[in-house]
């Protein structure tokens, strides 16, 4: 594998060409440069890109999570028929000038046209290709960081808890509204009969399985289910920021009583809490964009007078832990549906106001609040440009099982807040934005919309440049 740890190239900078005999130089580069490109494709890709990302960030004062993000973006950028490897493949002529031209053209189409012009003006370094391409890959990594990924990292570093849309909407929302059913073959299927997960019954006793079939996955859509999800996502997010050694684990002293007091829930219904934990552990979810797996695993150590109170320990899976969207990005799939699946939907720190609803409607009302946030994420470009988005609350209420005649009363409480929660929304004649209490989450969504606008403009400019080149 190529050694990239010593790469120190900067985007737009190449050493001035050295004096050499053109014929031998051309012959040597013609032999070595295509071999280097082939090595990039054949070597252990993850290690190669990771080393380039670390080299590119050596002076950027960025932590390993930034290198993870840059590595994922390098994967998406360099692979495929229009990627870096494909663009640079083929024989070399004129002391590497032809290869350099290909790099500049690719840079202009994929990164930045002006920066590519500066790269061309700086001159060329044929030795770069003889070194196996390590410098140019580090240069691409640094250019990608400065021109694109640094902004994305700054937004991600705004540090609001969030879940990929594939989890928050495509799976959890459908489960919370009872759209899934468990079949005799232990497959979890949606209304169209598509398998979206499987029930790991090997970990269940007969009594637990019977209780599971009685309650169903709808428990995830209850107030207790929403509170548990909110508690785990925000707690794990904070523990990771604090660099806790076991940041995925959340412990509750006192066992189920401690969990009920922390959430909190109105009734200390240990049987329902236990079944809720079984639901998150025993259903292994799947998605076209990734294999999600279980939401969490858990253990319960019972207490007694001698040992003290019991202890409940929940360890979240990849679905609820930070980093899943970055891992999904490494697939290199940039089709619209794949990009949509990894959009980050913020988990609000404050619960939505629910006092205006009866007990039976509070779970669907919380599900509706989640869908409102997801709708803002999906329309983030307009949120960034206009500050608010149009949302049909009645239509979303239908998807949550909340009667339409409850929507006006619920919306009034969302605008004013209640004793347990601050206001959720601000309304402008059918257009909505998040209230001040959720300013961090609103800024996170709007920044994502601004990124999409900039990305669409860059893509359109790239297509125009390619059309002009033809």
Q: What is the pLDDT of residues 191-241, one digit of tens each?
A: 778 888 888 776 566 666 666 666 667 788 899 999 999 999 999 999 988
One domain for residues 111 and 235? no
Model pLDDT, residue 408: 95
pLDDT at 274 (0 to 100): 85
Q: Examine residue 12 and state whether it is found in any structural domain, yes or no.
A: no
Residue 401 zone, left/alpha/beta (φ > 0; ψ -120 to 50; rest):
left
Of the candidates 347, 372, 404, which is a domain's last residue? 347
Is residue 136 domain-resident? yes
Question: Could you tell me if 29 and 135 lie in one domain?
Answer: yes
Q: 138 with 278, same domain?
A: no
Q: What is the pTM of this model?
A: 0.70
The predicted structure's pLDDT at residue 14? 30
- Per-residue pLDDT at 6: 31
Q: Is residue 7 in a domain? A: no
Query: Quick one: average pLDDT of 160-170?
Result: 92
Distance between first and last Cα of the chain: 37
Domain that holds residue 366: 351-470
pLDDT category, 20, cuts 50, 70, 90?
very low
14 in a structural domain: no
Of residues 19 and 73, more confidently modeled? 73
- What pLDDT does 382 receive? 94
Q: Which position has the higher pLDDT, 155 or 42?
A: 155
Same domain for 296 and 358: no
398-443: pLDDT as tens digits: 999 999 999 999 999 999 999 999 999 999 988 999 999 999 899 8
> Over 80: is that where the pLDDT of 137 sits?
no
Between CA 324 and CA 97 the distance in angstroms is 41
For helices 97-110 and 113-121, angle between their N-to-C axes, nearest 10 degrees: 160
Q: Do both 137 and 260 map to the same domain?
A: no
In this prediction, residue 409 carries a pLDDT of 96
291, 365: one domain: no
Residue 17: pLDDT band with limits 50, 70, 90: very low
Sequence-distant (6+) residues with CB within 8 A of 258 are: 252, 309, 310, 311, 312
* pLDDT for the residue 334: 74
**The pLDDT of residue 307 is above 70:** no
Question: Do both 326 and 372 map to the same domain?
Answer: no
Identify the pLDDT of residue 7. 30
**pLDDT at 41 (0 to 100):** 46
Are 396 and 368 contacting, i.e. CB atoms less than 8 angstroms apart? yes
d(CA 271, CA 290): 32
Among candidate residues 157, 191, 219, the one where a domain is terminated: 157
- What pLDDT score was predicted for residue 182? 75
**How far is the C-alpha of 393 from the C-alpha of 396, rounded, in Å?**
5
Q: How many domains does the chain have?
A: 3
- Based on the domain organization, do 355 and 335 belong to the same domain? no
> Is residue 334 assigned to a domain?
yes
Q: What string of H, E and C letters represents the secondary structure of the chain?
A: CCCCCCCCCCCCCCCCCCCCCHHHHHHHHHHHHHHHHHHHHHCCHHHHHHHHHHHHCCCCCCCHHHHHHHHHHHHHHHCCCCCHHHHHCCCCCCCCHHHHHHHHHHHHHHCCHHHHHHHHHCCCCHHHHHCCCHHHHHHHHHHHHHHHHHHHHHHHCCCCCEEEHHHHCCCHHHHHCCCCEECCCCEEECCCCCEEEEECHHHCCHHHHHHHHHHCHHHHHCHHHHHHHHHHHHHHHHHHHCCCCCCCEEEEECHHHHHHHHCCCCCCCHHHHHHHHHHHHHEEEECCCCEEECCEEEEEECCECCCECCEEEEEECCCCCCCHHHHHHCCCCCCHHHHHHCCEEECCCCCCCCCCCCHHHHHHHHHHHHHHHHHHHHCHHHHHHHCCEECCHHHHHHHHCCCHHHHHHHHHHHHHCCCCCCCCEEEECCEEEECHHHHHHHHHHHHHHHHHHHHHHHHHHHHHHHHHHC
Q: Which residues contact 324 (CB under 8 A, 6 or more apart)?
A: 163, 164, 167, 290, 318, 342
Q: Is position 13 within any domain?
A: no
Predicted pLDDT at 468: 67
Q: Verify that 252 and 331 share a domain, yes or no.
A: yes
* pLDDT value at residue 24: 40
Same domain (yes/no): 112, 217: no
Instruction: Assess if residue 6 is contained within a domain.
Output: no
Residue range 63-117, pLDDT digits in tens: 677 777 777 777 666 655 556 656 665 555 544 556 566 666 766 676 666 666 6
Q: Are residues 322 and 180 in the same domain?
A: yes
pLDDT digits (tens, 9 = 90+) for 329-385: 766 677 888 889 989 999 999 999 999 999 999 999 999 999 999 999 999 999 999
Over the stretch 264-292, which tens digit does the pLDDT of each residue have?
Answer: 776 557 778 888 898 899 888 988 878 88
157, 190, 219 - which closes a domain: 157
Q: Tell me, yes or no, whether 246 lies in a domain.
A: yes
What angle, 0 to 180 degrees and rounded to 10, lies between the N-to-C axes of helices 134-144 and 45-56? 60
Whether residue 324 is found in the same domain as residue 380: no
Q: Is the peptide bond before 264 cis (omega within 30 degrees of 0)?
A: yes
| pLDDT score, position 327 | 78
């Amino acid at each position: 594998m190529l050694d990239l740890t010593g790469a120190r190239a900067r985007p737009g900078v190449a050493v001035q060409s050295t004096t050499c005999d053109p014929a031998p130089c051309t012959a040597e580069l013609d032999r070595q440069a295509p071999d280097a490109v082939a090595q990039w494709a054949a070597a252990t890709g993850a290690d190669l890109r990771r080393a380039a990302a670390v080299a590119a960030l050596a002076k950027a004062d960025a932590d390993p999570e930034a290198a993870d993000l840059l590595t994922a973006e390098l994967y998406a950028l360099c692979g495929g028929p229009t990627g870096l490897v494909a663009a640079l493949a083929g024989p070399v002529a004129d002391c590497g000038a032809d290869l350099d031209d290909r790099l500049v053209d690719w840079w202009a189409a994929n990164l930045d046209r002006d920066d590519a012009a500066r790269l061309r003006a700086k001159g060329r370094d044929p030795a770069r290709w003889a070194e196996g391409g390590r410098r140019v890959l580090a240069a691409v990594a640094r250019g990608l960081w400065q021109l694109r990924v640094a902004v994305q990292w700054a937004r991600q570093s705004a540090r609001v808890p969030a879940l990929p849309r594939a989890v928050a909407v495509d799976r959890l929302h459908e489960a919370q509204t009872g759209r899934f059913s468990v079949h005799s073959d232990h497959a979890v299927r949606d209304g169209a009969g598509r398998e979206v997960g499987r029930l790991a019954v090997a970990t269940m006793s007969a009594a637990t399985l019977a209780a599971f079939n009685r309650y169903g996955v709808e428990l995830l859509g209850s107030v207790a289910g929403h509170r548990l999800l909110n508690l785990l996502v925000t707690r794990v997010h904070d523990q990771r920021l604090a660099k806790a050694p076991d940041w995925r684990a959340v412990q509750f002293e006192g066992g189920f009583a401690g969990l009920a007091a922390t959430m909190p829930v109105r009734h200390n219904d240990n049987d329902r809490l236990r079944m809720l934990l079984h639901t998150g552990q025993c259903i292994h979810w799947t998605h076209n964009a990734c294999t999600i797996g279980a939401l969490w695993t858990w253990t319960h150590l019972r207490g007694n007078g001698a040992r003290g109170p019991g202890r409940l320990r929940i360890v979240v899976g990849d679905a609820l832990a930070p980093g899943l969207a970055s891992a999904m990005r490494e697939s290199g799939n940039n089709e619209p549906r794949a990009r949509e699946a990894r959009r980050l939907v913020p988990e609000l720190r404050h619960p939505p106001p629910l006092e205006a609803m009866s007990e039976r409607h509070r779970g669907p009302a919380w599900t509706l609040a989640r869908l409102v946030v997801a709708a803002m994420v999906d329309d983030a470009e307009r949120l960034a440009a206009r500050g608010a988005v149009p949302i049909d609350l009645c239509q979303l209420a239908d998807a949550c099982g909340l009667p339409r005649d409850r929507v006006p009363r619920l919306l009034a409480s969302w605008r004013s807040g209640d004793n347990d929660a601050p206001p959720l929304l601000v309304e402008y004649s059918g257009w909505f934005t998040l209230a001040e209490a959720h300013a961090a989450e609103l800024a996170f969504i709007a920044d994502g919309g601004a990124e999409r606008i900039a990305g669409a403009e860059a893509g359109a400019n790239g297509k125009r440049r390619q059309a002009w080149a033809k």
